[in-house]
Chains A and B, each alone.
Chain A
Amino acid sequence: DIQMTQSPSSLSASVGDTVTITCRASQGIRSDLCWYQQRAGKAPKALIYAASKLQSWVPSRFSGSGFGTEFTLTISSLQPEDFATYYCLQYNYYPRTFGPGTKVEI
């Protein structure tokens, strides 16, 4: 199975900051990577697919990049509603595998 790792596991930031989360795959997955946001007690919400393409409902302060084994999610000008846990998911291989999550805290 493809192992996904994320760093950091948690971070503290302030409103207006720029934060970057890294996701690494144990082998190459091309651009077959999604990012999700999960607020406490809520279902996950898709943010990015194909490593860098924003879902239509996602504000432009979110961006994704990467190819192969290393990927990043960047949130510019952090807003109060962005404090949540973020997960990456690879969908190049079965079983699909998620990263362990990165909690973004105030």
Chain B
Amino acid sequence: EVQLVESGGGLVQPGESLRLSCAASGFPFQYSWMDWVRQAPGKGLEWVANINQDGSEKYFLGSVKGRFTISRDNAKNSLYLQINNLRAEDTAIYYCAWALNYWGQGTLLTVSA
């Protein structure tokens, strides 16, 4: 059974940094592209970033380039999203997804003073 479990969200202050994690199981993680997608409260879905199998290719939404970093640890079957200089507009549920077919339940990040 495919499982994707996000963690690391919470309440943080503007300007701080945070790393979100996604623990994957039930599929060949090391051979898979992985994505992060977010959803602000009451809003639609927004693709954020993805990474290829060995981490050598990464793509980002234009508005997050420079502040967001995506990475993975294939030995731990884990995906990460590092977010620096957090802004109120980063408040959202962050989902990780395998090939955009299987999704986790998401982790809520709230940026507020």
A interface, CB within 8 angstroms of B = 1, 34, 36, 38, 43-46, 49, 55, 87, 89, 91, 94-101
Contacts and interface: CB of A to CB of B under 8 A. Distances in A.
A49 B45 CA distance: 17
Contacts of B100: 34, 46, 89, 91, 96
13 contacts: A1-B62, A38-B45, A43-B103, A44-B45, A45-B103, A49-B101, A55-B101, A87-B45, A94-B59, A95-B47, A97-B47, A98-B44, A98-B46
Residue picked from A44, A49, A95, A101, most chain B C-beta under 10 Å: A95
A98 B104 contact: no
A89 B106 CA distance: 18
Nearest to A95: B61
Nearest to B93: A43
A95 B105 contact: no
Given A46-B103, A87-B44, A87-B45, 17 more contacts: A1-B62, A34-B100, A43-B95, A43-B103, A43-B106, A44-B37, A44-B103, A46-B102, A89-B45, A89-B47, A91-B100, A94-B59, A95-B62, A96-B47, A98-B46, A98-B47, A99-B44
